[in-house]
Structure formats: structure tokens, C-alpha cells
Amino acid sequence: MEIRIKHEDAFIIEFVGRLDTVTSLELQKALDQEEVKENLVIFDMKETEYISSAGLRLLLSLKKNLTKQGKALEIHNVNDICKEVFKVTGFVNVLTIK
Amino acid sequence: MKIRFPIILKIALLGLLVTSLGSGVALTISTLNQNKRSEETLIENIDKSLYSVDYMFEEGDNSQDLLAGLKNVKDYIKTVYSNPDIKEKTLKDFSSFEEYEKYFQERDSWVFPPPGAMIASPAYLEFRKNFKEISHILLEAHLSSGARAAYLCYEEDDGDKKRLIFMGDSRITYTEREEGSFYHLPGSHYDLKPQDIIIDEKNELYQGYKINSYLTRFIELTETLEDGTEAPVASLFLEYDRKEIQKRSMDILFSELIILGSVMVVVIMLYMLIAYFTITKNLKKLTVATDSISHELKQANNITPKKLEFRSHDEIASLASSFEVMEEEIVNYVNIIKKEAKENERREAELEVASNIQLSALPASSYLDENVELKAFIKPAKVVGGDFYDYFYHDDKFFLIIADVSGKGVPAALFMMKAKQLLKAKITSESSFRKAIAEVNNELALNNESSLFVTSFIARIDFEKEEICYINAGHEKPYILHNGEVIKVDGTANFVLGGMEDIEFEEETIKFEKGDTLLLFTDGLNESINSKQEEFSYERVENTFKEGKDLSLEEKIHLFQQRLQEFVQNEEQFDDITIVTLKREDSTLSLRYRNKDYQIIEDCVNKFQEAFPNLEEEKKSKVGIALDELLNNIISYDESEQLEIDITFTKLQDDMKVTISHNGQDFNPFNQDNEVKVLQGNEDLESLNPGGYGVFLVQTLSKSQAYTYIKDHATITLIF
């Protein structure tokens, strides 16, 4: 697992590996240490192998927090299996997936 | 053997058959002839029946009596007729019968036929007496000749008229004619010869031969005159019924046939008697002698040839002498055979032992470990065969050998044992694979006076590298089944083992991945022939292998046996057949966890992904997600002292089966009323519960789910 955070025009989170019970805790820890100044947060899943329900929870809470702050969350580069997970759970309707 | 149909009986039956056939034919011909030659035959037959009548009239008192009586009768009749007074008088000329009687009594004569009442006129009485005698003779003639009626007749010359007088059994009548005309009465034409006269049903007279219902035969009665000449007195008419005669002639024929048949039967019986003494008796003698020899052959150890005594000098005696010679030969031969049989028995027992030793030298036909599964099949053509296979681990590599020794029987088997031991010994002692095989070759070629050799395929399987390094020493090229496709292992074909010293052997390498199957076989399989002399061929081997791609190894071998049997039918197997199948296992991965730690999830997913590198990415991910969700749940809800989790992954044909067994809570994740809310996008974000998607995801991503709880162990089974 690897987490890369970049501050460009947007706040970019690149997650490498499986977004599961253990790794989402670690991701949460990493995000807690960051301060989001940008108005847009991009969660890049280009190198994310798959996402489990723990990952979904994380994304949902992230979306909630950002919405409260009036900021946007975009999910980028979703692979087939992740797309399927988002679809069957209806997360496609809540999250902005590009 | 019991004789059911003795020869003499057969010959006798044949004789009877021929006789009956002959008689039948004779009867048929005779019947046909009977119809054809009707007239002649009829007359002949009548003549035959007239011997007694001729005798009656030609010889003895009968003739004399008849002639004497006839003379009197003639005289009387003449007297009556010559009396012009009574000549024309008939019954109708009288007013009453009394008048009629009176008229004739006065004249002492009677016209005939007499008018019923017997009037005792002395002349008439005399006439009656004579006529009675004649009647009596006629009756006798009538009965003895078989005719239906008999008449005596003569002609009187009465000047301008001629009168023919007929005398029957009981009455007398007459007819008259003018000179130069015919009589108009049933009877005869006087001018014709008696035997020429034929009278038809309508009582008309004909001349010549013609078929009619009645046939009349005349016998002329003569009287010797004083001058010594014969003068005709009268003729005897015999009237025959034509049908009756025909019937009688058939009866005669039948009686002749019966006589003939009886004669034949007697002849046949005589023949049988003669045959018995000349043939059967001697044949029986031979049979007894043969039986006794047979009996001795079965029972006794010492057999003595029998001497046969024959007085005759015929074919049977010759046969008997040949038999004696043959008997001696048989006795000698049997003694030799008996000796050889004992020898053979011993040899066969030894071969059986050799066969057992050989088969026990082969490793088990079935082998299974975590790396490979192996099934082998060997069917020797003779008791002791030249095919073999072997397998063993050495230096963490799996060696599989299949070989076919040239030649059959004991020499091939001995050579095979040597080759098998050498191969294993050299491979396990020599570090270089090529060198090991070269040394085996040299050892086998050394002092190989019988010029035997071995074709062999030696495979060294490296499970880590997933490849086979092999040396093919002149053997049939094997096949590998990879992802449903059959690949020929088509590397360098080296020279055979033991054929020539100091040869180099090339080794080759081919991929052998998890799930792949290797098929090795000897030429007994592809060169098996059917009744049309066609070979089973590489093509059929390849097709059968492909056909059974989804079958287990055991079923694959059964399929080969079945296809081969269908092909060869009843043809004899002329070479050993060996089939070895080997499958690289990838089917299962078992993991055990005894610590309650979320890190096991990562470890488990990692090991799973390593174990099934060929699995599609999507499936890998689905299994990963499911493992994360379920293990997370199990660990979270566990209240046991020592958590035990056993996970098994099984690669099925197209699917992946995951079994998770644990001693945690009896909680069926799939039996809950999981009211998972699939998000629609219009929900209030704050109210959304971020949990509850785990089990839902497992259910959605897997094809099927099952849960059992037995003996404190919960088991979740998932299919992807």
C-alpha cells in the first residue's frame, strides 16, 4: 500500500493497493494529518486494486466532511471492479466519479 | 461317442428310399401308360383274366358237357323255330294265357323266352335241363373271368334269314337279319372277328378299336368233326365294364409293387446282415480299441499299443493296420508331450513369478501430493512385458520416466529391470541430467549381445520454475494439455538407450504450468491396429486427450481404454500398452490462522494471489474484497479464547471456491434481513449510515454463498 498526497490545483490523493479494512484505517490516519486548503479533492484510484466496504465508509465520511466545508470530491481513474462496487451500492449516485 | 445312426441303418434307409422312389416312379409311369395305351392294355388285362375261362372251355368235362348241352339246346330251338305253325306266334296272338299254354302243350314245344310258368312239356323239360347246365357254365365263366355278364351265342341259317341266338345266365333271346345286313341287337356283329367287336353305351355297333364303357370279348367254341377239322359251334361273349377293368389293373399293379417292396425289404435285411458281419463288426472292433487307447491316455501313465486281429483283407483291415501304426505314433508322441507339459508348467509358473516381480518393481499406478497427481496404466501383451514407467523426487524435482524395451518376453523384461534401476541410480547420483542419461546409455550398450535397446522419455519437472526439462531417447512424443489446448512435446529426438556407446543426449525445456497435464505413452497405444490394419495413430491419441480435457486423470485413462477398445475391437494386442498422465496441481490452497489479528487478512489475500497467478484480475479482486469483509467480521465478533480460522481455496473448472471455517460466533451473514440501502443520490448525506455494505458486497460479487455450523465450527463457502 502506498498513499501519495499532492497539492496542485486540487488536493490529490493517489492510493496504491487494496483499499480494505486495514489500509483504510491507515489512509484515514494519513488524511487526518493533512489540511485541505484546496476547494477540490481528487481521489485518484488509478493504482487502487479494489475497494471494500471499509473503503466505501472512508469515502462517504470524506464526502460528508468536504461537503460541510463546501468543498468538492471527485473520484478519478476507477477500474472495473471498483466501478462495479460503486454501482451495486449506489455510490455512483452520491460520489462524483470521473 | 454313442452311435445314434449306424451306417447300415443309413444304407438301409437309403435303399428303402430308392425303392419307394423307384416304385413311385414306376407307378406314375405305369398309370400314365395305362391311360395312353388304354385299349391294348385293357385287352391285355382282359386276356389275363381269361385263362381260367379258356381252361374251362378248352379242357375237361366242362367243355364236353357244354357242347353236348348246347347241341340239345340247338336242336330243341331249331325244332321250335322250324315249326312254321308256332314260329310266328307270340303271346299277343292269344286271347288268354290258358289259350297260349294249351297251344304249345298240344305241340309239345315252347317258344322262348318261356312264358313264366313252368309247363311240364317233356321236350321243354329236356331243353330246360340242358339249358340249366349251360347257364351254370356261363355263370361260372362269368364269375371266374370277372366280366359283368357272359353270353353264349350261335347263328342259325334259316334260309333267307340268319338268326343269332343268345343264351344268358337265365334266359335265351335271339335276333334276326337279312342276308348282307347287320343284327340290331346288343351283342356282336357277326361278320367281324369276335375280339374286334366293341359295343358302346348307346348299344350301337362299331368296328375297330374305340374306348367305350363296355368291352366285349369273344371266345370261339369249336367242335372236332369226324374228318378231324375244327368247326365253330358257338361263341362265348364276355362283357366287361371298362372302369372296372382299369381299377382291377391298378390293383394288380399295386399288388405287384407290394411284392416288389417286400422283396426289397428282404434284400435290404439280408444286406444289413452281411454288412454287419463284414463292416460294422470290424468297425466296432476299431472303436473299442480306440476307446481303450483314449481311456488310457486320460488315466494311465503307461500306454500300450493294441494289436487288432482281422481275418478279412478289405479296406477296413487296411484301416486297422494304419490305425495300429498311428496308435504307436500317438503313444510315443503322448509320452513326449507329457514330458514337455511338465516342463511347460514349470516354465509358466516361473514366468508368472517373473511377471509378479516385474509388476512389483513398478511404482504404484496412482500418486498424489501437493504438487502433482499421477495415474498410470500398463497392459502387457505377453505375461512379461518390456514397457515400464517410474517416478521419484530427487533434489526437489520430480522425475517421470516412461520406456519401452525392444523385444518381448523374458529377455525384454530382464533388460527393462536393468534399465529402470540404472536410470534411477544414475539420475540420483549424477548432478548433470544429460550426463546421467549418457551414462545409462553406456552401461546398457556395454556387452549388449542381444542388441536390445530402450526408447525412453525422461522428464525432470521443476515446480518452482513451472517447467519440464526432458530428454527424449527415441520415444513417442508426449502431449501437454494447457488451458484446454493439446501441445505436442516436440523437442529433439535423441538416439535410443543401449543402442550405441558414447552418444550425447540433448535436453529440452518446455513450460509446465499449474493445472497443466502431461500425457506419456508407449507405441503400443498409437500403433495398436484394428482388423483393417489401421493404426490407432497419434491423431487419435491427441483427439482422445483433447476430448477428455475436463476429466480427472483416472477418467482420462478410462477414456483412452474405451476409445482404444472401440477401435481395435477383437484384434489381438501385440505390444505392451502403457499410458501415464501427470497433472500439476493448482487446485487447492489451504491456510491456517490461529491469531486474532487483522493482519491475517493481508497475508491471506497475498498468499491467495500468489497461489493462483493465472486467475483473472476481476476474480482475484472479488475474492480479495470478500476475504476482507468476512475475515473482518469474524475477527470483530469473535469471543473465543483461541480463534481458529482455516481457509481453503479450490480452483474448479471455471470457478474459484473459497471455504472459510472458524470457531467464532455462529452467525450466518447471509441469513440476515440485510436491508442495505442502495444509494439513490437524493439522500441527506448526514443521515447516511456508513456501515452494512460488507456482507452485501460479498453477496453481490460472489456467484453463490453457503453457511453451515457443525460441531462448534462455522463454515462459509463462496463460489466466484
Whether residue B269 is contained in a domain is answered as no
Contact state of B678 with A89 under an 8 Å Cβ cutoff:
yes
Neighbours of B672 (CB within 10 A): 11
Contact state of B693 with A57 under an 8 Å Cβ cutoff:
yes
B569 and B620 part of one domain: no
Dihedral through CA A3, CA A4, CA A7, CA A9, nearest 10? -100
B540 and B661 part of one domain: no
Per-residue pLDDT, B55: 62
Q: Which of A26-40, A76-90, B641-655 shows the lowest per-residue confidence on average (mean pLDDT)?
A: B641-655
B600 and B572 part of one domain: no
Domain final residue pick, B198, B221, B250: B250
Domains of chain A in sequence order: 2-97 (3.30.750.24)
B226 and B115 part of one domain: yes
B180 and B37 part of one domain: yes
Per-residue pLDDT, B688: 72
B135/B138 Cα distance (integer angstroms): 5
Q: What are the grid coordinates assigned to B69, written together?
A: 348241352
B569 and B614 part of one domain: no
Selected residue of A52, A79, A93 to mutate for chain B interface (largest B Cβ count, 10 A)? A52
Whether residue B10 is contained in a domain is answered as no
B548 and B620 part of one domain: no
Whether residue B290 is contained in a domain is answered as no
Contact state of B625 with A20 under an 8 Å Cβ cutoff:
yes
B577 and B593 part of one domain: no
For B446-521, where are the alpha helices, taking DSSP H only? none
B375 and B416 part of one domain: yes
B409 and B428 part of one domain: yes
Q: Give contacts of A88 with chain B, Cβ < 8 Å.
A: 678, 696-697, 700-701
Whether residue B337 is contained in a domain is answered as no
How large is the ipTM?
0.92
Domain final residue pick, B584, B603, B624: B584
Q: Which residues of chain B have pLDDT under 70?
A: 1-8, 30-63, 81-92, 97, 105, 108-121, 158, 169-219, 241-242, 245-246, 248-249, 300-306, 308-312, 370, 382-385, 586-587, 652-653, 672-675, 689-691
Whether residue B656 is contained in a domain is answered as yes
Domain final residue pick, B551, B584, B617: B584
CATH of the domain at B696: 3.30.565.10
Chain segment B193-207, per-residue pLDDT in tens: 333 333 333 333 333
B262/B252 Cα distance (integer angstroms): 15
Chain segment B106-151, per-residue pLDDT in tens: 776 655 545 544 455 677 777 777 877 777 777 777 777 777 777 7
- Decide if B345 contacts B352 (C-beta within 8 A): no
Q: How far is B637 from chain A (nearest CA, A)?
A: 15
Q: Which of B677, B691, B696 sits opposite A57 (nearest CB)?
A: B691
Q: Is B180 exposed, middle or buried (0-12, 13-18, 19+ CB in 10 A)?
A: exposed
CATH of the domain at B381: 3.60.40.10
Number of domains in chain B: 3
Selected residue of A47, A80, A88 to mutate for chain B interface (largest B Cβ count, 10 A)? A88
Comparing CA positions, the residue from A51, A47, A91 lying closest to residue A73 is A91
> Does A2 lie at the interface with B, CB-CB under 8 angstroms?
no
B636 and B580 part of one domain: no
Whether residue B518 is contained in a domain is answered as yes
Q: Give contacts of B629 with chain A, Cβ < 8 Å.
A: 52-53
Whether residue B71 is contained in a domain is answered as yes
Give me the residues of A, 76-95, that contact B with CB < 8 A.
Answer: 80-81, 84-85, 88-91, 93-94
Per-residue pLDDT, B218: 66
Per-residue pLDDT, B665: 79
DSSP per-residue letters across B423-443: HHHHHHH-S-HHHHHHHHHHH
> Does B605 lie at the interface with A, CB-CB under 8 angstroms?
yes
Per-residue pLDDT, B197: 38
Contact state of B685 with A89 under an 8 Å Cβ cutoff:
no
Q: How far is B561 from chain A (nearest CA, A)?
A: 46
**Beta pairing class for B454-462 and B397-405:** antiparallel
B530 and B642 part of one domain: no
Whether residue B131 is contained in a domain is answered as yes
Contact state of B618 with A80 under an 8 Å Cβ cutoff:
yes
Domain of residue B84, residue span: 33-250
B471/B464 Cα distance (integer angstroms): 20
